Amino acid sequence: MHFELLHQDKNSQARAGKLVTDHGEIETPIFMPVGTVGSVKGIHQHEIENEIKAQIILGNTYHLFLRPGTEVLEAAGGLHKFMNYNRPILTDSGGYQVYSMSGSRKITEEGVKFQSHVDGSYHFFTPERAIDIQRSIGADIIMAFDECTPYPCDYQYAKRSMKMTHRWLDRCFTQMNNTEPKYGYEQALFPIVQGSVYTDLRQESAKYIADTDSLGNAIGGLSVGEPAEELYAMTEVVTAILPKEKPRYLMGVGTPINLLECIALGIDMFDCVMPTRNARHGMLFTSEGIINIKNKKWEKDFSPIDPNGTSSVDTFYTKAYLRHLVRTKESLGLQIASIHNLAFYLALMKEARTRIIDGTFTEWKNKMVVKLGQRL
């Protein structure tokens, strides 16, 4: 696995690159649709590739560990074969899910004891266990086990948590070195920068992560409720330190505007449930702004969902029809909206890459962030 930095924007930190894995190449900047339990919710694998044009998707270690479990995944030959998807996959380590279950987990130096949201059973994740589970899942890129701090977060807690995340990272690397991939292709471990919204902690963590000389690096603990200004400020602090020749992954971000602003700060990879989660509530992202398809103004609008859209659903169905499907909670409506939103996110990344390469990124980005935030 390797990363090639192909072009650097002259007026910002935006970059265009290529990440090569054993399951194919990924052109950056890139957005990764979230396939939590081995499925991008409501979307077929052929639609992921042909309609949405995703180049890599994300799976969730915590959820896949609970169901279907590593025994089934190993018997299938790993997640790729289980879901019949032959492009790159990234798995998170489960740290974020543990963070989000604050009422039913206990964190110690050894690891995290948590209660399953499925059946109430208790489980214990350690850095070593997180690596072992991700070996069984078989993703191309796997994440270090970390603690994601909440927002707001006390400085001393953020500092203690960051130090522990660094110690857990050392244990993750040891376990990676003591184990082999199970399915005959390479897996790359990305460490995660933490430090909440404290500049000195983010700088310290970024230096620690940079010194591991990993194949790629991630920024975690953001997009957890902090203002956008804090998200951008911390991202800028960290990208100034992380090595330029390695891909940078900003976890859990974000809106289309967030993506463009963070590309300008030097981020290469993103994931977020927003395009699919918001689609299920009738919110559509378009190049002209945001549509709430449930609004009455679309009731008799028989124009295409998005004449500028890149997927077939955008011109095949009308706004009025999609409004009807969403309002009646027909599953087809959720599928159409999800395909539209994800295809829009991927098209936005492709356009950003083109603009970086041709030298017009900053001018284009500044115009787009105004349009993208408009309510239609």
Q: How far is CA 354 from the centre of its chain?
A: 21
Neighbours of 338 (CB within 10 A): 24
Rounded CA separation 367/130 (Å): 42
Q: What is the DSSP letter of 191?
A: P
271 catalytically annotated: yes
Q: Residues forming the annotated binding site for substrate?
A: 92-96, 146, 194, 221
Closest listed residue to residue 347, CA positions, set 302, 303, 314: 314
Cβ-contact 187, 140 below 8 angstroms:
yes
- Alpha carbon separation from 195 to 74, 158, 163, 354 (Å, rounded): 35, 6, 9, 33
Cβ-contact 94, 116 below 8 angstroms:
no
- Please list the residues that pair with 90 across neighbouring strands: 58, 141
Q: Residues forming the annotated binding site?
A: 92-96, 146, 194, 221
Closest listed residue to residue 53, CA positions, set 372, 354, 345: 345
Which pairs with CB-CB distance under 8 Å and at least 24 residues apart come from 228-232?
228/257, 228/258, 228/261, 230/197, 231/258, 231/262, 232/261, 232/262, 232/265
- Alpha carbon separation from 364 to 17, 201, 240, 351, 356 (Å, rounded): 19, 33, 23, 10, 10
Catalytic residue among 9, 140, 271, 306: 271
DSSP letters, 294-324, are: TSGGGTT--SBS-TT-SSHHHHHSBHHHHHH
Query: Which of the residues are catalytic?
Result: 92, 271
